[in-house]
Structures are given as C-alpha cells and as structure tokens.
Chains A and B, each alone.
Chain A
C-alpha cells in the first residue's frame, strides 16, 4: 500500500517527538551532564516547531489518508500550545520541589505532551483523534503525579488517571457508536455527512455524541466532569498545573470545535438540543467556578475553580459560534473562542507563574502566605494583581477583550441569558480574585512566612515578563490579535 505523506505538515509534531526522544537518549548516555542541556534543547525544539508551523500555508491541507490535517484554526491553536509549553519549560527550571526528580525526563515528557496535544488539534480521523487524546492524557497523568514522594502529587496523578480513564472509556464507547451509525466511516467530516444522509435515528446520534461529550467535558474541565480539576491542580507540581490549565484545555477546546463543526448537523433546529446541553454546562461551570472558588484558601485550588469558570465562558463562545447563521454578518462566536484561548494563555500562565515563583521562594501556596506580599515582594505583588484583574475581566487587560468578545458574540446570537449569567458570575469571581489582592496589599504578613526566602531563578522572570507583555499589550491594542483570530476562525465555516 502506498501512502502519500506530506512531511511538511506533520513536521512540527515530528520535531517535538524527535526532540523529546533526543533528550531521553542524551539523559541515558550522559547522565549528570545533561542536567543543564535539557532546557536549551527543549526550548530549541519548540522554537523549531514554532518555525515549522509558521511555514505552513494558510489553506487547509491534509495527509496520511486524510487523517491528519492542518488549517488556519489548527495553526492558531498550535501557536498557543507551543507558546504555552515554551513558557512552562522556563517556569519549571529551578522549581525547587521538582529538584530531586529527574528533570530531563520532565522536559521530554512535556514536549511529548505538547506534540500529543498538537496532534489532537490536527486530527481529522476518529482513530487518530482517539489515539492523540489518549496519548496526551497518559503523558499528563505522569506529569501530574511526577513528584512521587509527595502525597498530594501522587493523589493528583491518580485522581486524574481514574477520572480520565473512565471518561476516555465512555468516549470510546461513543466513538464506537458513531462508527457503527455512520456505516463504518472513520473520517470525521465524512462521518458527519453520513450521519445526516443515512437517516440515522436521531436518538442514537444524541446518545453517541453525548458519550463523546462526556470525554470532552473531562478534557476541558467543564461541569459536570469537573471534579478532578481542583485536586489535580492543587496536587500537581505548579508548572505542570499551569501546563494542564492552558495547553490541555486549549487542545480540548479545539477538538470540541472540530467535533461540533464536523459531526453536528448544520442547521439550528437540529442543533437545538446541543445548544441547550452546552448552555447548561456553560452556566453551571461559570456558577460553580465562581461561587465555590470563593471558599478556597489554596491559591492553586482557587485558580482551578477560576479555570472552571473560564471554560464556562469559552463554552458561551462555542455556543454562539455553533449557531452562526452564514448570512447574518460578522461571525463573532468562533473568533471569540480563539481570542479567549490566546488571552487565557497569557493571563492564566501569568497567574500560575507568580504562584510558582512565590511557591519556589517561600514554599507556601495558601492565601495566608500571600498576606502582606506587597511589602515583601512589591513587583511580584503588582504582577499578580495585573493577572488577577485580567482574569476578572477588568480593562485594560486582555481578559477584558476576551470577555467582551464572547459577550458580544452571545448578544449577537441572542443568547441573552448566557450573557447575563456571564456578567453576573464575572462580578462574583471578582470577589474571588480580590481576596488575594486584598491579602497582598491590605493584610499584614502572618507568622508562617519563612524569614529566609530563597531566590527566584531568572527564567521564571522571563516567563512572567512575557505573560505580562501579552496581557497588557493585547489589552490596550487588541487589533492584531482580533484580526488574526478572525482570519483563522473564518476557516471553520468551510466544511471540508
């Protein structure tokens, strides 16, 4: 059998996998001396992959029997994932809790995870989709439980694995049903066509898609499959938490978008049950995330609930995008999802970066460790304030732009209830973030602060600086970002 492979478009993923294995091999051969090699090597690999992605053309291309494909949206999401990975590698460098575990393997595993997520974004075939989802999940389970001797980390890894394995099994059942219902087609767009043309029993399609939806809800951390998020985020090593909260989520969002575009019928009445289901999930996510988050004392759990709330917001954008009527003018929904993903990258990674740096220096992750931080580390406190206000959606940060765009999409599509829930939960979640700001600026330092604070490694500052730049620049001058996102999102309307 002769399979034509367009090497150029799978080059980024191959580069990442090659880089990861190079690090593994070097670690085996050189042992101690690779300690300081792995970071530059990993960063170099990412740079190469980023460059390879940028050389891809703007028109959709696919390869390996039309199972792996790249289009503008895919390129956008890959940029986000690779950039996130780059920043995470910078952040993980010098992170003391990880110091006694093998670090080169960590870098290699992170690269593998990035490649898996990148594969997820590029999957056009059911089999490749499932394999890449499993691949990324497996690597992430290991990453979450990387600190073997720490009970929290082990628990995080285990919980993540158990949830993930169950969700994945349910999703596989859904995939199998879809395979059967479409008459043995694995190519996703073709499957979508087959489902509508073959007079398939709508109830069966709903059940099948619902099962798949369970798996996707797990991947992005939306209600009702959000139970793993707080414990996993709290237990995993903080740079890994940051990685999960951005890359894994973004990849999941990409897959969700693809499945919706390809598998759901393209008219509003048939999509109505899905709109309702997703709306409930969106509203519940926002409400749960913002209200339960208020009770949290641990910064990582707090940010975990904030992640749940934010995913609710992204779902609003997806709902608006799903119900896009082609002739009605500007399409905001899908572009809003992309903008939110990019904005979320900067503000969330920035917030986690600060949490990592402070955890690195003081070993504390509770709000009480942040009391009076404005006096002890004024620059970090100021940076954290900017990121928290961005997460709350206050101008002039990118968080406001992202929320604004999603709200615009919701109102355009007449989803007023979603918009109202969105803004009300934004106010509630502000309270969540202000609690931390208040602790930093208004409270006096408590007694638990270790007087001798350890220094923070330079790469972390580089990472947090880049995040700050992204948060403020796109907040004040969002034009290029909006333009690029719209350009990329336009793609999603063209059925392939």
Chain B
C-alpha cells in the first residue's frame, strides 16, 4: 500500500523533497553549519535516488507521457496540478538531481550565511525539477518563476565582486522573457478554444489553431525560452551571471537552467504551436549557427576561465537549436543529447574552475603556467573535461554535436530547405574547430609551458573535489562510448514528437 502511494506520486516526491528539506533546515540552528550542509546534501541525494527509481519506473519503448499525476487546482480557469514525464524529460530530471547533489557538496566552500544559502538552494532545485515535469502551462510558469527569486539571492549575496549587477540583470532580463511568455500562454487559453492550460489537450487541438495565431504565440513563448537558452542576441545576461555566481550556482545555472529553455521549446512550442515552430525553423537554425560561431569566437578572446566556459555554453547550446530546427529524429536526439551532455560537461568544467579559484583566488588564464607539474591529477581531469567539451570522439560531447549536425545536414523533408540547412551546418562546423582552438589554447596556457613560480604552494585536487567531478567524468565516457544509454530512453518520445509535427506540416 505504501508502495503505491509512493509510486503513484513519484514525480511529486521528486519535486517536493527539497521543500521538505527546507522545512527541516528551518529547525536547525544556524550555528550548526556541518549539520545544515550534510542535511541538504542528504535531501538532494534522496531526490537523486528518486530519480533513479524514476529511470527504473519509466518503461522504455513507450513514447507517451507516463507517471501522470492530476489534481484540479484553480477550477475556473481549468488550471490543474498536472505532472508527467516522457523520454525527453526523464534525462533532464536525472541531470537536475545529479547536478544538484554534486553542487550541494561543492557548496561546502560557501563560508557565510550557510543556512540561508541552502534554503534558497533547495528552493531553486524544486523550481528546476518542477519545470521539467509540469504538464499544465500555468504550473510550468509557476515553477519557471520560482527559479528566479532564489537565483537572484544566491548570485547577489554569495557571488563575486559584481554580483549585485549580475543578479539584478539576470532577474530583470529573465522576468521580461517570462512575462512575455505568460502573454503567449494566456493567448493560448483564450484564443485556443480549449479553455484549458493542459499541455496535452492543447497539443491535441494544435491543428485547429490558425497559422498566424501560432506564429504570434510561438514568438511570445520563444522570447521567454530564448532568453533562457540563451539565444543570441538575448545572451548578454549569461556571462555576468555565470562569472559572478558562486561555483555551485554556476554549475546549476549552466547545467540546468539553460536546459529549461531548450526543453521549453521542445515541450511547449513544438507540441502546442507546431506550425509556428515550423515557420520559424530556418531563423532558429540561423540563430543556432550564430550561437555556435559567435559564442566560440568570443570564448577565444576571454582571459577569465569562467567567462570562457560561460561563452562556451552559449556556443554549445547553439547545437541544440540546430538539432531542433532540423526536425529529424537524429536532430532532436542530438539536441536532447547535447542538452544532457552539455549539462554534465559544463557542470564539471565549472566545478573544476572552482577548484583552482578556491586555491589561487584568480581565474585569469594568463596568470597561470606549467601548472601540470604542481597539480598533475587536476591537469588530467581538466584536460579530460575540456576534451569532452570540444567534442572529442569517444566522449559524450561528440555525440550530441555529431547527431545535431548530421541531423541538420539532412533536414526534414517537410521543411523544404535542404540547401539552406546544409550551408548552415557547414558554417557551424567551423565552430568545432574554433572550440577546439580555445580549449586547447586555454589548457596550454594554464598547464603547460613555463612554470609560474607564484603557484608553487598549490595543493592538488582533493578527494571531495574529485568526488564531485567523478560521476560526471564517468558519464562523459559512458555516453561517449555507448550513447544508447540515453538514446534508448529518449528515442520513442522523440519519434512521436517529430512524426506529430511533420504530419501537421502537411496542412501548412
């Protein structure tokens, strides 16, 4: 009996476990910092366990939404507490819980106001998890907004020198996207003829929406998602937020928050306003190209390690956009793979940048040199992660990029834009070269070459730090060698979505 109560509401358990953690934390006196830290880690670990159970519970080969939970919330508007997952959301939920757990451990380096930090941290985790499992547009919006406030405080209080500026920029920028998204959502409710915010029902009625209506709604929603992904030119909040945020928060920002945007495009835009999405496919691909190449070029120019990794995030998310725009099985698979892999890899990179920053209190690439001699293990791990990020075959970064590019090289026939996409893919390939360039150059400047005597006393990477990065490295290797680990989970749902959108394109 207890089992059914539990398994029937697995998603709610996953989403609200951190809230239970918050309530527990309230009662712990703020002086007992160790207790607070380990309690928070425990709760994120419980959420991680639940998501492992989720992996086990979700039946493969089932393309539909599973593990649904439904309760009426605001009756007059048809707003419901409706949650469910499918192959696209499950990897992202697992990514969130894994990164939350590891970043909670990495947060041990936060030294002041620890209780408030972890309460806000757990609230952030709840918001992120809620976004990926919500199937009601208002519930989705609710969790989307819940992420904003803790993030503002986490960056603004515990961040770097320009934290206040970065925090308010992040808050206002993202809020602007969110409220425009809200208008799109409201338009769907009133003009959609469905009188509901239920994503599945709206998806079913997508055929009945006129093209113009879909385009307007798509653009409204896109602004909100584009700011999160982030899509050029709405990316300017990202470098500031990433650089100024504390290490663990950068991990979550890059690893999870950016994926909320990509997920939103897939789950909301492509499912509910597919004709609008199709209309925007070429511009989306072009924006992806700009992200890839522009992000890579700017990353090349960076002198701060964290900013370099931040711009590399902009660049990598471009592959996601490209894969989505292509509307092929391979493209979508590539996009979701890239989201997951980017989360893992960039999460690891931020953790590693944090390692050196904790010791040297600087992130300037040119400040270092010949570090491999002093910190050989760290050099090895950092190189491994950078190689994964630049897409070395055999590591997971390659898989996402490869699938996205190949998928986009032969885009869906309904788009009728073969030549344009081919040109875009060829142009994007230069991004790969530039990415390799800036990562290898960074590695060379930091780890090789003449030793900078200033850093003679640096300790190599500690056990706790290796512990936070190790699971990510294992995943990088495993998915790089055997991508089916993820693809088997994702593919049925992706096939269903692509087929659904392609079929609707016939009516365009």
Question: Can you name the residue of chain A whose Cβ is closest to the Cβ of B174?
Answer: A427
Stretch from B72-80, B258-266, B365-373, B462-470 at the A interface = B72-80
Stretch from B5-13, B183-191, B239-247 at the A interface = B183-191
Contact mask B161-199 → A, CB, 8 Å, 1/0?
001100110011001100110110011011100000000
Contact B176 A408 (CB under 8 A): no
Complex CA gap A404/B79 in Å reads 12
Interface check A193, CB cutoff 8 A = no
Interface check A420, CB cutoff 8 A = yes
> In the complex, what's the smallest C-beta–C-beta distance from B219 to chain A, in angstroms?
13
Stretch from B143-151, B200-208, B404-412 at the A interface = B143-151
Contact B179 A483 (CB under 8 A): no
| Majority DSSP secondary structure for residues of B touching A | helix
Complex CA gap A396/B148 in Å reads 12
> In the complex, what's the smallest C-beta–C-beta distance from B385 to chain A, in angstroms?
33
In the assembled complex, which residues on chain B have CB atoms less than 8 Å from the CB atom of A441? 153, 156-157
Contact B142 A395 (CB under 8 A): yes
Complex CA gap A233/B75 in Å reads 38
- With contacts A395-B146, A420-B183, A430-B172 taken as known, whether A478 is within 8 angstroms of B74 at the C-beta atoms is yes
Contact A394 B145 (CB under 8 A): yes
In the assembled complex, which residues on chain A have CB atoms less than 8 Å from the CB atom of B171? 430, 434
Contact A407 B183 (CB under 8 A): yes
Contact partner of B168 (CB less than 8 A), chosen from A396, A419, A431, is A431
Contact partner of B156 (CB less than 8 A), chosen from A427, A442, A482, is A442
In the assembled complex, which residues on chain A have CB atoms less than 8 Å from the CB atom of B157? 441-442
Complex CA gap A419/B168 in Å reads 24
Binding site for A on B (CB under 8 A): 73-77, 141-142, 145-146, 148-149, 152-153, 156-157, 163-164, 167-168, 171-172, 175-176, 179-180, 182-183, 186-187, 189-191
A–B pairs, 27, beta carbons within 8 Å: A389-B149, A394-B148, A394-B149, A395-B141, A400-B145, A408-B77, A408-B190, A411-B190, A419-B186, A423-B180, A423-B183, A424-B179, A427-B175, A427-B179, A430-B171, A431-B168, A431-B172, A434-B168, A434-B171, A438-B168, A442-B157, A442-B163, A477-B73, A479-B74, A479-B75, A482-B76, A483-B75
Contact A486 B179 (CB under 8 A): no
Interface check A153, CB cutoff 8 A = no
Complex CA gap A396/B142 in Å reads 7
Residues 316-360 (chain A) with a chain B CB within 8 angstroms = 330
Interface check A96, CB cutoff 8 A = no
Contact partner of B145 (CB less than 8 A), chosen from A395, A424, A483, is A395
Interface check A426, CB cutoff 8 A = yes
A-B contact count (CB 8 A): 73
- With contacts A438-B156, A441-B157, A442-B156 taken as known, whether A426 is within 8 angstroms of B142 at the C-beta atoms is no
In the assembled complex, which residues on chain A have CB atoms less than 8 Å from the CB atom of B77? 408, 482
Complex CA gap A50/B73 in Å reads 29
Question: Can you name the residue of chain A whose Cβ is closest to the Cβ of B152?
Answer: A434
> In the complex, what's the smallest C-beta–C-beta distance from B362 to chain A, in angstroms?
24
In the assembled complex, which residues on chain A have CB atoms less than 8 Å from the CB atom of B167? 442
Binding site for B on A (CB under 8 A): 330, 389, 394-396, 400, 404, 407-408, 411-412, 419-420, 423-424, 426-427, 430-431, 434, 438, 441-442, 477-479, 482-483, 486
In the assembled complex, which residues on chain A have CB atoms less than 8 Å from the CB atom of B182? 404, 407, 423
In the assembled complex, which residues on chain B have CB atoms less than 8 Å from the CB atom of A404? 182, 186
14 other A-B residue contacts (CB within 8 Å) besides A404-B182, A479-B75, A482-B74? A330-B76, A395-B142, A395-B145, A396-B146, A400-B145, A408-B190, A419-B183, A420-B183, A423-B180, A430-B171, A430-B172, A438-B164, A441-B156, A482-B76
Interface centre among B75, B171, B189 (most CB of A within 10 A): B171
In the assembled complex, which residues on chain A have CB atoms less than 8 Å from the CB atom of B176? 424, 427
Complex CA gap A351/B90 in Å reads 41
Complex CA gap A413/B71 in Å reads 29
Complex CA gap A438/B159 in Å reads 14
Contact B179 A426 (CB under 8 A): yes
In the assembled complex, which residues on chain B have CB atoms less than 8 Å from the CB atom of A408? 77, 186, 189-190
Contact B190 A412 (CB under 8 A): yes
In the assembled complex, which residues on chain A have CB atoms less than 8 Å from the CB atom of B183? 407, 411, 419-420, 423
Closest 8 CB pairs of A and B: A423-B179, A411-B186, A395-B142, A427-B176, A412-B190, A395-B145, A442-B156, A411-B190
In the assembled complex, which residues on chain A have CB atoms less than 8 Å from the CB atom of B172? 427, 430-431, 434
> In the complex, what's the smallest C-beta–C-beta distance from B162 to chain A, in angstroms?
12
Question: Can you name the residue of chain B whose Cβ is closest to the Cβ of A374?
Answer: B116
